[in-house]
Structure 1
Amino acid sequence: MIHKYTCQNGVRVVLEKMPYVRSVAIGIYVKAGSVNETEAEWGLSHFIEHMLFKGTSTRSAKMIAEQFDRMGGDLNAYTAKEMTCFYTTVLDYHAEQAIDILSDMLFHSNFDEVEIEKEKSVILEEIASIEDTPDDDVDERLWTQMYADHPIGKSIGGTAETIGSFDRNSIKNFMERHYTPDKIVISIAGNYDDRLLKRIESLFGSTDAHQKQNNSNEAVRIPNFHSGITSKRKEIEQAHISIGYPGLSIKDEKLHDLILLDSIVGGTMSSRLFQEIREDKGLAYTVFSYYSSYTSIGSFVIYAGTNPENVDKMMESIDRIVMDTQRDGVTEEELSNAKEQLKGSFILGLESSEAIMHRNGRNELILGEHKSVREVVELIDRVNLADVGKMAYEMFRKDRAVSIIAP
């Protein structure tokens, strides 16, 4: 059962007790990601994620790493388009020490200028590694094409120009605007006790760090989807292709229709794309579809990598599968299989404290609500053939965006 608690300054805490495990997973979610950045700040939320590991007024970066190593836990973080998360999983009797260190990182990081300059080089190497990975690069270029006039289409890492401009002041200014109590959620799952909640209140409930009043009247600009083609030449062995269609927001009541359609079209090994393009025709080693859903928009994406000589054949196969799905919908057997696969992966994916912590943290931060496993299963079972057929018809009849990287 999920319990919710709000600290006196507005920081939200969501907890799920798991007395049958020895772990406690802790996540600090901040509703600040690449969508919150101005042009000059492109990549800053990701940069801040890195800098919070670089030492505080009482702990060096090495001390932070050593303390988590001594606890036998792992410390990690990620930046997404709409959030940043700092998280760890430790043994239950180390939970209070872990939350102490996380709060120290969040509120008392030094942002030393020497460390800032060093981390710029690290992130530039990270960006270079993406550019050297064509299947990642082609996807980022697709999102830039689909949402060219909005931050949600930008890569999370930023550019060499923007990264080079970051300093202590730019970090502080961004955090004062976005790392505010109303945008912070602490998610706990595992074998915690009541002392941990008291510790969270003392650490997070009265702090004045990063607490400029958030402007709740800030205008929210809805991204516009742009069709078209973006291409890039690169000395590689394969051609990489990503095809994007406008999808659904994470709050859309028809989202499970899309999730099931994704499973049938390309989300599993039994999907239409995988069976025809890889198994039947041998045109690709990797071919799949995925959906991404955010607060105001979403996208459905098909990816495939193939020998440049087979690009036309592969595109013909993809187009035919898309057209057949749009025209004829899906079969009862496909829908039944997709439902069971989705329910199985959803339930099995919640068997660790870390997985439950992440689910609860994201739900609280973005949705502000928590559906039970039973409620989610009921939503999946409620989808019928007509629902999925209508979803396929409406989505695939729209103009698409295409990203290609080829030799």
Structure 2
Amino acid sequence: MELCHAVLTTSLPGPVLDHWTLPNGVRCVAAEMPEAPLTCLDLWCRAGSFTEVAGEEGMAHFLEHMVFKGSDRLEAGAFDRAIEALGGSSNAATGFDDVHFHVLIPPTQSQQALELLLDLVLHPALEHEPFRLEREVVLEEIAQYADQPDELVLQQLLKQGCPDHPYGRPILGERSSLLAMDPEAMRRFHRRRYRGQNCCIAISGPKARELKATIESSALADLPSDAHPTAEPTGLKLLPGRHSIELPRLESARLLMLWSGPPAHDQAWVMGADLATSLLGEGRRSRLVARLREELRIAESVDMDLSVLEQGCLMTLEISCEPEDLEQVEATVHEQLEQAAPFSAAELMRGRQLVGNGLRYALESVGQVAAQAASQTLWDRPQELLQPLQHLQTWSEDRLSTELVPLLRPDWACRLIATPAGRR
């Protein structure tokens, strides 16, 4: 059902956010959601794979695994049993920029769950035997990843486009680096990254602010401040070019294209890029889907995505087709990106609806609210959750055509042609 113009152009308030900072630099944010049935506790740290130095490839993700193997007070499995006994659940994820650990818990149990979460993440035991056993689990995960042609194609694209940047290497790491790791090296990584100014805690749900005093007297307050921050990798510079690869068991041929843009801090650009990629590659009425799949019927699927990253955003286009249609697919994409008419008012209205709805729907669960609030607070972008909608309205047809679409020139992209082995 289409939304009326008033809904599309009005920034609904969303959950009220309360920001504060501990003396050691830990950032805190609480999102009041009085009607929510659960509370989300989400601890974020600037400890993603891009913070790894030579020899640490895969350390951030491996540490995420090891955290759940116990702390100085909790034996392996005790945290999960305790959280489940309180009626909750937990999970974690490692990305290029950061890692986070979250718990969904009944509001009445949130204080006890917070203490358990902080003990687990801030004081991991990192004992030798669990380290050895969990490394085998991570190595098996890498082996399974290497057995998935679709994942290998995307990783090859990143490797070719970002050869001198951490975004170009697998978050899971390399087998050789993992085999050379030991618990003491992981402790050094943990001490280096899990410091006050690198951490953020977000709480969303009923009476979220009531945990403020608990946080201020928690283990977070004991983290060392980061008086001398570690040097981070320089900004992302994409390497254009055209590459090809053959892979066994790849079900269809692929055309992949990768472009880079400003870092996530440029929220106005991010909203414009989100709008442009939606207009070009999201839904049957988008430019590329309509032309390649609906009209010419030479593509099986068309996907265009924006990855919002702190060192530089990445836009990817992936098209699946029969090998014999690759040449026509590539020519048509070039035509659409280089010679297409400006977006119409109707297209722009549709794109704003898609992007705006994505932001609004993300406010429906405590987990998504906590993740959004924590991520933007961790990276020094404290703002109301629907603030980006104001940027969205500034992107007119003319502005998109003059400022953003020209950045998607095919010769500025890293292009990868992937074909099934033995099929040309």
CA distance in 2, matches of 1:104, 1:365: 20
CA distance in 1, matches of 2:139, 2:417: 23
- Alignment match of 1:382 (pick from 376, 379, 394): 394
- The equivalent of 1:179 in structure 2 is 194
The percent identity for this pair of structures is 23
- The equivalent of 2:415 in structure 1 is 402
Residue segments in structure 2 that go unaligned for 5+ positions in a row: 1-15
Q: Secondary structure at the match of 1:343?
A: helix
- The equivalent of 1:245 in structure 2 is 259
Kept in 2: contact 1:240–1:303 (CA 8 A): yes
Equivalent position amino acid for 2:309 in 1 = Y
Equivalent position amino acid for 1:223 in 2 = L
Equivalent position amino acid for 2:327 in 1 = D
Structure 1's 332 and 95: CA in aligned 2 closer, same or farther, altered over 3 A?
same
Q: Deviation string for 1:294-327 (max 9, x for gaps)? A: 22312211012222232223222322222234xx
CA distance in 1, matches of 2:392, 2:172: 35
Q: Secondary structure at the match of 1:254?
A: helix
2:351 aligned with 1:338: yes
Structure 1's 230 and 215: CA in aligned 2 closer, same or farther, altered over 3 A?
farther
TM-score, scaled relative to structure 1: 0.93
- Alignment match of 2:83 (pick from 58, 65, 68): 68
- Alignment match of 1:170 (pick from 152, 165, 185): 185
- The equivalent of 2:8 in structure 1 is none
Kept in 2: contact 1:13–1:186 (CA 8 A): yes
TM-score, scaled relative to structure 2: 0.89
1:314-333, aligned counterparts within 5 Å?
Answer: 314-325=329-340, 328-333=341-346
Q: How many residues align?
A: 402
1:280-295, aligned counterparts within 5 Å?
Answer: 280-295=295-310
- The equivalent of 1:258 in structure 2 is 273
- Alignment match of 1:135 (pick from 150, 175, 181): 150
Equivalent position amino acid for 1:330 in 2 = F
Greater shift in the superposed pair: 211-220 or 90-99? 211-220
2:105 aligned with 1:100: no
CA distance in 2, matches of 1:193, 1:225: 42
- The equivalent of 1:110 in structure 2 is 125
**Moved segments of 4+, more than 4 Å:** none
Kept in 2: contact 1:266–1:287 (CA 8 A): yes
Kept in 2: contact 1:9–1:181 (CA 8 A): yes
2:161 aligned with 1:146: yes
CA distance in 1, matches of 2:107, 2:388: 29
Residue segments in structure 1 that go unaligned for 5+ positions in a row: none
- Alignment match of 2:311 (pick from 293, 296, 313): 296
Kept in 2: contact 1:177–1:212 (CA 8 A): no
CA distance in 2, matches of 1:324, 1:126: 43
CA distance in 2, matches of 1:329, 1:160: 47
Shift of 1:387: 1.2
- The equivalent of 2:10 in structure 1 is none
Coordinate RMSD, CA, aligned: 2.0
Kept in 1: contact 2:17–2:384 (CA 8 A): no
- The equivalent of 1:310 in structure 2 is 325
2:238 aligned with 1:221: no
Shift of 1:214: 5.0
